[in-house]
Chains A and B, each alone.
Chain A
């Protein structure tokens, strides 16, 4: 299940709902990304996440399908917010269900690496000195390259 939506969400509720949908799974792994409170030492007062709905939804769906096929998942969830959000709030939630733990761990890692470097989202951090657009770091691309 994939959702791109503006509102806040509750990662614990997402995980519980997902677990209820995949009875019999041997392993579920999940990841929650949060709006950080500082960025390169500077305070973050807010975050704006822009997206391009048609392309973003298609790209995120393709990443989920690739993970399902590659790791033999029994189910997966990707929830990604857009719009304005505050420090400490969740931005992204990813979960994967598989027969065994390794596939579940790796599928979550794989989906996050691809989301960060391929999904059309643009992040603008606001702080005391104004706002700036953030782009994926070199380390994000190195992480992505691990998966071929």
Chain B
């Protein structure tokens, strides 16, 4: 089971801050994951939403698997 986290306004739009999911076999990287979950939550398709895998943000897509913590991050607002 992968752990999916939703921060900021995504927590409200998805309806939860965290859920566990069994990733389908065809979901192998963050692009696959975005397309898969975006079918149900189209707000996650927006390019401003970044995806961190195990709290790491890479420049491009990253592999994902069933042991990963995968976080969807909307634009930030600190300070």
Contact = CB atoms under 8 A, between A and B. Distances in A.
Interface of A: 33, 49-50, 52, 54-55, 58, 80, 91-92, 112, 115-124, 133-136
Contacts of A116: 76-79
6 contacts: A58-B55, A115-B78, A119-B76, A120-B76, A124-B8, A133-B77
A123 B11 CA distance: 12
A120 B73 CA distance: 8
Interface residues of B, number: 18
Contacts of B78: 49, 80, 92, 115-116, 119-121, 123
B37 interface: no
B69 to A, nearest CB: 9
Interface centre among A80, A118, A120 (most CB of B within 10 A): A120
Nearest to A125: B77
A118 B55 CA distance: 14
B76 A121 contact: yes
